[in-house]
Amino acid sequence: MHVLLTGAAGFIGEHIHEALLAAGHDVTAVDALLPSAHGSAPRRTSRVTTVDVRDPDALDEVMVGVDAVCHQAAVVGAGVSMADAPAYASHNDLGTAEVLAAMTRARCRNLVLASSMVVYGEGRYRCPTHGIVRPRHRQPSDLRNGVFDATCPEGGEQVTWETVDESAPLEPRSLYAASKLAQENYALAWSLATGGTVTALRYHNVYGDRMPRDTPYSGVAAMFRSSLESGEPPTVYEDGAQMRDFVDVRDVAAANVAALDRAGEGFVACNVCSGHPISIGDVARILCRAHGGGIEPTVTGQFRPGDVRHIVAGAVLADDVLGFRAAIGPEEGLTRFAFAPLRAASDGSAPVV
């Protein structure tokens, strides 16, 4: 299969590129090489062509003969300020719309879309009295007083988290989340209009080799790594009991390869996760232990407005639809990640339109 891979020079994109080639696919790899992601002097390779997916003429050139598109190109991170909003809308939403238009012109009918768990907002919760509920938004006054757990919106009871499946309500709470949901909506509309196949992969917390070093837009695993390399304890927000799913980038790449072979038309969204819930505090402790011991995480009680308390993925649908199961658990993967090579830090600048 001839695959167009966008965002091919990124952390996840590089791993997908390698997995596609290993699976025998012919790959056309493109990337805009944005300074906010790659620095002012990005590493260039002959395997990747510089293309901004917002450029329809450039897309038409690289779309010739393509059977499927694996669309990874996006501005990532939650967004440091609302001033970042135009960049997210431009690169993620307009970029995806241009990719879909180019696919239509080229009569290409198979799209694998990089989405994210952030489209869910808060995870799934059960109240002992009222069953499954959507908890109230956590209030800054409670967070300042160390009250981090969500409560039932009906009676105020303590609620417990459950895994989130793909039918859960979608409630994006950041610029990035809003843009990822918009990408899914554009892709769904395209699928309905053209009869094309869309597989939206909702990545959970991805980590692994060649992850970017600490920037304001990095994931927490890279931030913990950066602290340890500086001889400092990782800083854990709240009480460290926030539950997540951390998935190794090699498993994410395998999910993309599996998605290209999905049978049938239409839109489907699948969680891509390890299937093994883990707390943020335990992620920090595993990395500290693997890094040689002697350092313990610092649990600060600080918080970031808009952060969700728990979000843990259900892994069933990806197995049923794609035949995909993650092969690497968090203990194994994070232990390896403690000394995995990372990307050189970018300049940490905000994304620009």
> How far is residue 24's CA from residue 260's CA, in Å, rounded to a whole number?
12
> Number of C-alpha atoms within 13 angstroms, CB side, residue 233?
12
Residue 117 pLDDT greater than 90, yes or no: yes
Q: Which of 176, 203, 207, 237 is catalytic?
A: 176
pLDDT at position 120: 95
pLDDT at position 338: 94
pLDDT digits (tens, 9 = 90+) for 55-93: 999 999 999 999 999 999 999 876 567 888 999 999 999
> How far is residue 211's CA from residue 318's CA, in Å, rounded to a whole number?
24
pLDDT at position 305: 79
pLDDT at position 34: 84
Q: What is the 3-state secondary structure (H, E, C) of the chain?
A: CEEEEECCCCHHHHHHHHHHHHCCCEEEEEECCCHHHHCCCCCCCCCEEECCCCCHHHHHHHCCCCCEEEECCCCCCCCCCHHHHHHHHHHHHHHHHHHHHHHHHHCCCEEEEEEEHHHHCCCEEEECCCEEECCCCCCHHHHHCCCCCCECCCCCCECEEECECCCCCCCCCCHHHHHHHHHHHHHHHHHHHHCCEEEEEEECEEECCCCECCCCCCCHHHHHHHHHHCCCCCEECCCCCCEECEEEHHHHHHHHHHHHCCCCCEEEEEEECCCCCEEHHHHHHHHHHHCCCCCCCEECCCCCCCCCCCCCECCHHHHHHHCCCCCCCHHHHHHHHCCCCCECCCCCCCCCC
Percent of all residues in the chain with a pLDDT value above 70, rounded to a whole number: 92
pLDDT at position 284: 97
pLDDT digits (tens, 9 = 90+) for 95-110: 999 999 999 999 999 9
Residue 273 pLDDT greater than 80, yes or no: yes
Q: Mean pLDDT throughout 152-170?
A: 95
pLDDT digits (tens, 9 = 90+) for 200-243: 999 999 999 999 876 655 688 999 998 998 999 999 999 999 99
Q: Is 176 considered catalytic here?
A: yes
Pairing of strands 68-71, 205-207: unpaired
Token digits for 51? 């293309």
Residue 347 pLDDT greater than 60, yes or no: no
Task: Return the higher-pLDDT residue of 16 and 294.
Answer: 16
Percent of all residues in the chain with a pLDDT value above 90, rounded to a whole number: 79
pTM of the predicted protein model: 0.94
Token digits for 77? 């991170």
pLDDT digits (tens, 9 = 90+) for 36-55: 666 555 566 668 999 999 99
pLDDT at position 103: 98
Token digits for 222? 């890279």
Pairing of strands 2-6, 131-133: unpaired
Pairing of strands 278-279, 243-244: antiparallel
> How far is residue 36's CA from residue 186's CA, in Å, rounded to a whole number?
25
Banded pLDDT at 264 (limits 50, 70, 90): confident
- Residue type at position 280: I
Residue 287 pLDDT greater than 80, yes or no: yes
pLDDT at position 321: 96
Contact 174, 117 (CB under 8 A): no
Q: Which candidate, 120, 221, 111, places its Cα nearest to that of 172?
A: 120
Banded pLDDT at 349 (limits 50, 70, 90): low
